[in-house]
Amino acid sequence: MAKAILYDATKCVACRGCQVVCKQWNELKAEFTENRGSYENPKDLSPETWIKMEFREIPRNGSVAWLFTRRACMHCTDAGCVTACPTGAVYHHDLGFVAYDKGKCTGCGYCVDFCPFEVPQLDGSRVTGLGRIDKCTFCTTHGLDRIGNGLEPACVKTCPPGALIYGDRGELVAEGNKRVAALGGNATLYGENELDGLHVLYVLTDSPETYGLPKDPKVSAAATAWKDIIQPLGWAAGGLVAGGLLINLIVARARQIRAEEEK
């Protein structure tokens, strides 16, 4: 049965406990932070920061309202990163979310290019082939697997106000819609249908755009073309080259044998 996380923005106090525990559990390094005129730190997601709380000040009823957005991998069902990955390093876990095997990553960066949420972060250069991407693994990293051991994700476990819930996706969709109905107004459940269903659902009090989320995220047609057309053609071309080299080797060897026999 597919699993998911429900993030209720109305319960979030932006304590950033999820940011801290994500680093602790996944053994990610601390990063340089500075005062940039915002409560947000660090500046963006990175190979060492897989969750970042975003703060937005929104004029509302003559006053200013704080809106908090949990930015991390959305674990899409129709995931551009999975579609584009040529090695299978980024893949769908049996429980539906998007897992990642760093050992298979070649640093091509296609997952970075084709994620509509700009989540995967490349550590190093794709030119050298030494870079590797990193992102939330839904706490399934080898040796640090909470899900496989019957535990909830670390971010959910540590959330003080209970803004994060882990469970069966169908049940969380129902719970999210129930909360949205109780909120009324412009409240919405984000992720129920986007990209064939996200495995991180958001209860929002306003439109997705107000929270910095794309209203109608889509996987780029280029990602599908890469997977279904360009990559197979590349493998075919590579096969033809390898076959040609093999034939040349066989012909050359035959000529050598014939020359030796004629002596």
The segment with the largest mean pLDDT, out of 29-38, 104-113, 153-162, 217-226, is 153-162
How far is residue 185 CA from its own chain's centroid? 30
Q: How confident is the model at residue 125 (pLDDT cuts 50, 70, 90)?
A: confident
How far, in Å, CA of 175 to CA of 195, rounded? 20
Q: What is the pLDDT of residue 225?
A: 64
- Write the pLDDT tens digit of every residue in 73-123: 999 999 999 999 989 999 999 999 999 999 999 998 999 999 999 999 998
| Digit-coded pLDDT (tens) for 161-186 | 999 999 999 999 999 999 999 999 99
Q: What is the reported pLDDT for 36?
A: 82
Per-residue pLDDT band for 232 (boundaries 50, 70, 90) equals low
Least confident piece of the model among 30-39, 49-58, 110-119, 144-153: 30-39
pLDDT bin (cut points 50, 70, 90) of residue 219 is confident
Nearest-angstrom CA–CA distance, 65 and 79: 33
pLDDT at 224: 65
Q: What secondary structure letter does DSSP report for 120?
A: -
Q: Is the pLDDT of residue 14 over 90?
A: yes
| Omega cis (within 30) before 160 | no
Q: Report the pLDDT value the prediction gives residue 226, as an integer from 0 to 100.
A: 59
pLDDT at 260 over 80: no
Q: What percent of the chain has pLDDT over 70?
A: 84
Residue 147 in contact with residue 138, Cβ under 8 Å?
Answer: yes
Looking at residue 233, its pLDDT comes to 52
- Mean per-residue pLDDT, 64-76: 95
Least confident of 30-44, 96-110, 248-262: 248-262
Whether residue 242 has pLDDT greater than 80:
no
Helix (H), strand (E) at residue 5? strand 3-8
Confidence bin at 248 (pLDDT 50/70/90): low
| pTM of the predicted protein model | 0.83
**Which H helix or E strand runs over 52?**
strand 52-60
- Residue 227 has what DSSP assignment? I
Please say if the pLDDT value at position 124 is more than 90: no
Residue 243 has pLDDT above 50, yes or no: no
Nearest residue to 102 via CA among 76, 118, 77, 121? 121
